[in-house]
Amino acid sequence: MSIVRALRIPKDTVGRWAGRRLVVFIGLALIAGSILGIVLSGSGLPKVVAGAASSSCEPRSVQPSGHMTDSYDRQVLSFNPSLYLTLGNHTSAVEPDLSGDGNNGFYEPSSDPSNFAVLPNGDSATVFNGTNEYVQVPSTASLSIADTGCLTVEAWVKPTVLQFPHDQGSGYVYILGKGVTGKQEYALRMYSYSNSEIPQRPNRISAYVFNLAGGKGSGAYFQDKVSPGDWIMVTFVIDSRPSTGFPDGYIAIYKNGQLRGPWVSLAQFKVTPEASDAPFRIGTRDLESFFDGAIGKVAVYNSVLSAQDILATYNAMVSSGNL
């Protein structure tokens, strides 16, 4: 005997129950489908967007496009930079940003094409005359420390002279940087051999991070004998996020893939990085001094590259034994 007959439940009641159960089942299925759709699409939930660094400031490894055959370029692009200018297009008015973020550089003065130099791997780089030549990139959020709280900047540099003809301050030039008066952010600087610092800083290479108002910046540096015509890979890392060892953040500098000196706290001069609309420039920073020499392969990452990543990048340039 069936349960329906045993309990003497009218058949029309059973039909109504079955219909209600079907409606409930369909409703639950629709809700589950909606939740699954949100998870898959990321709508309404945090997600990592292609081309952007994660909130942890760790570089998100990506696979460079298949047409990129240069091993050094592929190495740089694998760390997902927000700007990558090889500076190999010195006869053009525009230097394309290979990162895909559209941070193209513009050669100035545009009517005066720069000369070129050859990097250790045979690629071209731009020679700046030390008087008025530079490359300018319009300001974007991804080129400021405040975007993710951290930044790694990398460049290959070859000074032509030891005493720069167009320096500023106590006797230094800016290799690159982002900042003008009242809108200072960060910079890479090289001192002339003779300068007015006490004690002197012969050809010191320094990286600084500033408050927008300027003044003294927290910095890291190395000071070695420099020979004109020698290539140097300079990398500096700024992390403004608080940590156990550095509650105010830090700045560090690397030469040829090796950490030089200690990490320096941003509390050194009470620096709190902020964003501005100042352009990012190469060969100068604020048009008050100009670097005399060659610069190539400039990369900006809005993430922190590890010591291993930086050394691997250096090795990608010199693995052919040309340096």
Query: Using an 8 Å Cβ cutoff, are 295 and 128 in contact?
Result: yes
Question: pTM above 0.85?
Answer: no
- Determine the average pLDDT of the residues in 109-117: 86
Integer Cα distance of 166 and 277 in angstroms = 25
Residue 42 has pLDDT above 70, yes or no: no
Which range (51-60, 105-114, 174-183) has the least confidence? Answer: 51-60
Topology of domain 71-318, per CATH? Answer: Jelly Rolls (2.60.120)
- Determine the average pLDDT of the residues in 111-126: 91
Q: What is the pLDDT at residue 250? A: 98
Q: What is the pLDDT at residue 197? A: 97
Sign of the Cα torsion 149, 261, 203, 227 reads negative
Integer Cα distance of 197 and 171 in angstroms = 8
Mean pLDDT of the chain: 85
- Determine the average pLDDT of the residues in 112-129: 93
Residue 34 has pLDDT above 80, yes or no: no
Which range (32-41, 132-141, 250-259) has the least confidence? Answer: 32-41
pLDDT tens digits for 254-290?
999 999 999 999 999 999 999 999 999 999 999 999 9
pLDDT tens digits for 169-185?
999 999 999 999 999 99
Residue 7 has pLDDT above 80, yes or no: no
